Amino acid sequence: MISKRAKALKPSPTLAMANRARELQAAGKDVVSLTVGEPDWATFKVASDAGIEAIQKGFTKYTAAHGIIELRQEVAKQTSAQMGVSYSANDVVVGCGAKYILYSVLMMILDSDEEVLIPAPYWVSYPVMVELAGGVPKFIDCPAETNFKLTAKLLSAAITPKTKALILCSPSNPTGMQYSREELSELAQVLKNNPQVVLISDDIYNRLIFSEAALSPHILHVAPELKERTILVNGVSKTYSMTGWRVGWALGPQAVIKPAADFLSQTTSSISSISQKAALAALLNGEPELLAVRKKLAAKKDQFYASLSGVKGLKLNAPDGAFYLWIDVRECLGRTHKKANRVIKNSSELAEVLLTDHLVATVPGSEFGAEGYLRLSFATSQENLAKAAQRFQDLSAQLF
Ligand SMILES: Cc1ncc(COP(=O)(O)O)c(C=O)c1O
């Protein structure tokens, strides 16, 4: 009955792992879940208040399919200030989270069999979305030596006449690494030499960083001339802890933004009117709370990093932003877990034994296109982080 497309579809592995953790918790197990990419602190009060006010005032009907003008204006204003290039409300399309926006953009730019370059490790949804849009994901392995980042050399070698787009995510999910201005300048040079390549810049974590800077370095800071073929993707989910409100956006050239707006009008209509008011309030008044959250997040990162540092078998990679710790577990592989009496062959098996024998839920690197790693989300309570660290010690004692 179902299409080839439906048959090929896999559920999001991060959400699948999170569900398993929830099921075990519901069965009374004390599972610490480090799976899902979601802040564990509340939606910013200014945003929630604006949502309540929208309901009370009856702002509860369809809006323009690509978002209310006030929100698009504010997104354009703030993004222009952040990137140092000029956008107007017409250059913005608002949709159901950065996720559906990314999918919509891919639907608008890809013809069948066109290739999209995806640096690996990558966010789990990129390849699936490219395939759903009829394109072909082409992975570029980015090794530990470059901090899992794309280099100019790797990018040049990967571009072919079929290349339509490159997706860059900085700071990255799953590694938390961000590109420096120098690294971005080198990548920009390659893009300038290959004018057919569209750049999709997934900036969803670019304000959740551990330095004093307001946001991560961006390719438009060093190469504003790429603006005409760059599509910026962002939203309120991570920055203002609004994952459930489902508000994301893209900014870019009219050639893409206009059809993307039409695509939304034919597929989702507008997103929730209430969420749009809440997102606008977060953008207008969320800054003080964001600064506090960034401090809290940096403290969690420091605590978790320090508590896992001495654990035999784990090699840590200090993240620049987001809320993930990307750990190299290759030393653990090929060893026997004494209690489970099994040889741990790969990162999936390690994640499995961690969950069943040590009650810590993680996502294996293989899901992000990099075997030998685990992704741990540290956006959880300090108690959970301490518990998880102790359980990693227990795992290590079973293996070494
Ligand atoms: C790299 C990356 N991009 C985009 C998204 C989508 O965010 P949302 O759809 O909640 O705006 C996520 C969420 O996990 C992500 O990690």
CA distances from 271 to 15, 101, 131, 198, 304 (A): 22, 11, 24, 26, 36
Q: What whole-number percentage of the chain has pLDDT above 70?
A: 100
Is residue 236 in contact with ligand 1, taking CB distance under 6 Å?
Answer: no
| CATH 3.40.640.10 boundaries in the chain | 45-285
Q: pLDDT tens digits, residue range 220-242?
A: 999 999 999 999 999 999 999 99
Nearest CA to ligand 1 atom 16: 173
Ligand 1 center–CA 101 separation, angstroms: 10
Tell me the best of 100, 124, 238 to mutate to test the pocket of ligand 1, counting ligand atoms within 8 Å of each CB and taking the most. 238
Task: Return d(Cα 122, Cα 127) in angstroms, integer.
Answer: 9
Ligand 1 pocket mutation, candidates 123, 170, 207, criterion most atoms within 8 A of CB: 123
User: Residue 207: its pLDDT value, please?
Assistant: 98
| Residue whose CA lies nearest to ligand 1 atom number 14 | 37
List, in sequence order, every residue forming a beta bridge with 117; answer none if it has no partner. Answer: 138, 166
**pLDDT value, residue 15:** 79
* pLDDT of 296 strictly over 90: yes
Q: Please spell the DSSP secondary structure of 148-183, one letter per residue.
A: T---HHHHHHH--TTEEEEEEESS-TTT-----HHH
Residue 102 alpha carbon, nearest atom of ligand 1: 4
For range 139-164, the mean pLDDT: 97
Kindly report the CATH class assigned to 4-42+288-399: alpha beta
Which ligand 1 atom is at minimum distance from the Cα of 101? 9
pLDDT confidence bin for 66, thresholds 50/70/90? very high
Q: What is the mean pLDDT of residues 247-251?
A: 98
- Confirm or reject: Cβ of 43 under 6 Å from ligand 1: no
Residue 346 predicted with pLDDT over 80:
yes
Decide: 97 in ligand 1 pocket, CB within 6 A: yes
Name the residue of 14, 105, 124, 237 to mutate for ligand 1: max ligand atoms within 8 A of Cβ.
237
Q: What is the mean pLDDT of residues 374-400?
A: 97
Local confidence band at 14 (pLDDT 50, 70, 90 cut-offs) = confident
Q: What is the mean pLDDT of the chain?
A: 96
What's the pLDDT band for 139 if we cut at 50, 70, 90?
A: very high
pLDDT at position 53:
98
Range 66-92 average pLDDT = 98
Please tell me if the CB atom of residue 237 comes closer than 6 angstroms to any atom of ligand 1. yes
User: Which CATH code fits 45-285?
Assistant: 3.40.640.10
Which pLDDT value is given to residue 13?
A: 76
Q: How many helices (H) and strands (E) does the chain have?
A: 14, 14
What local confidence, expressed as pLDDT, does residue 92 receive? 98
Domain(s) of CATH 3.90.1150.10: residues in the chain = 4-42+288-399
Helix, strand, or coil here: 328? strand
pLDDT at 11 over 90: no
- What's the pLDDT at 115? 98
pLDDT band at 18 (very low <50, low <70, confident <90, very high): confident
